[in-house]
Amino acid sequence: MELSIEKSPFRVLMPDGLEGLIEVVFEYPGLRMAVVERDLAGKLDRSWQAAGVYFLLDRPDALGRWGAYVGMAAPGDLRARLRSHLHKREHWYRAVLVRRNSSDDGFHTGQAGWLEGHLYDILAGADTVRLNNRNRPRDLTISAHDQASMRIYIPPILACLRLLGHELSHRELVDDVPTPPAPEPAKSEPVAKRRSSIEVSDLLSAELLSPGAALIPKSRKHTERAAINADGTIRFREKNWPTLSGPARALTGHQQNGWEFWRVDTPEGSLPISALRDRLERQRDAGV
């Protein structure tokens, strides 16, 4: 089977029988992925004793929302890491393993760490995804040139997730549907943070934000600012946006968690909007 994504062909290699590994091969940029059902995780061959990154996927619900854990195997190998998760994590039904399409030129630790952190950030900015990681993976330092070469792997990885029915979309597409509560994790699992129900309009009502307040990007390389409208929408580039993530994505060209991306000046200094949201949650929990 051969498909095409933005003129970049890839091959899907299917097993002869009902059981076996499904592999996705991108000749450019030299990427190989395996789609592994949970009950077949112990049958990976030695070609997957390689460094790389991986996703542990929860089944999408009726609204298309799904859970994911993002990890890396470097040092170490993907086959051993996936087998360890058979005992450590009960929630996933399918895994996607990612490595280079060459056993002689695998990802080194810094590259795998950067890729893991970057993929985590992309999933964190999508409202269809609930991340099961307890904390954001720690980025490992690589050169600017190395980062640029690693970015070519992002589109095919996300395309593979989409091919499997794991869409990345944002709140403005599903705002009219209430978010279902996350399932209770097993006792051995770290508790993932539940998505907050607080909106920007709630911060205005609580007087933690004021209409017209300037929103400042967290990165100094971005100088454009946005502003908060009285109804809780965001004014940016002469357009009103329903969420914080939309204008952040328009500014950077990448999916962003708008609550973390935008900062606002307060008497306590510059704070991310998420800090004000957390404050309001604490006030509500305390009955204030």
Q: What is the pLDDT of residues 119-174, one digit of tens each?
A: 998 888 888 899 998 888 776 668 888 888 889 999 999 989 988 999 887 443 33
- Determine the structural domain holding residue 116 and report its residue range: 2-171
Please check whether residues 82 and 145 belong to one and the same domain: yes
Please check whether residues 108 and 6 belong to one and the same domain: yes
Cis peptide before 75 (omega within 30 of 0): yes
Q: What is the pLDDT of residue 89?
A: 85
- What are 182-197's pLDDT values in tens digits? 444 444 444 444 456 7
Specify whether the CB–CB gap between 274 and 259 falls below 8 A. Answer: yes
Whose CA is closest to 281, among 220, 193, 211, 185? 193
Please check whether residues 258 and 165 belong to one and the same domain: no
155 lies in some domain:
yes
- How many structural domains compose the chain? 2
- What are 6-19's pLDDT values in tens digits? 455 678 877 776 66
Average pLDDT, the chain: 82
- What are 32-81's pLDDT values in tens digits? 999 999 988 888 888 888 899 999 999 988 888 899 999 999 877 899 99
| Residue after which a domain boundary falls, among 171, 190, 219 | 171
Higher pLDDT, 21 or 124: 124
Q: What is the pLDDT of residue 173?
A: 34
Please check whether residues 146 and 204 belong to one and the same domain: no
Specify whether the CB–CB gap between 110 and 140 falls below 8 A. Answer: yes
pTM, whole model, 2 decimals? 0.57
pLDDT band for position 263 (cuts 50, 70, 90) = very high
Specify whether the CB–CB gap between 67 and 57 falls below 8 A. Answer: yes
Q: What is the mean pLDDT of residues 243-269?
A: 88
Q: What is the largest CA-CA distance in the chain?
A: 65
Q: Which residue has the tokens 């991986």?
A: 54
95 lies in some domain:
yes
Instruction: Give the whole-number percent of the chain exceeding pLDDT 90.
Output: 32
Please check whether residues 105 and 213 belong to one and the same domain: no
Specify whether the CB–CB gap between 200 and 207 falls below 8 A. Answer: no
186 lies in some domain:
no
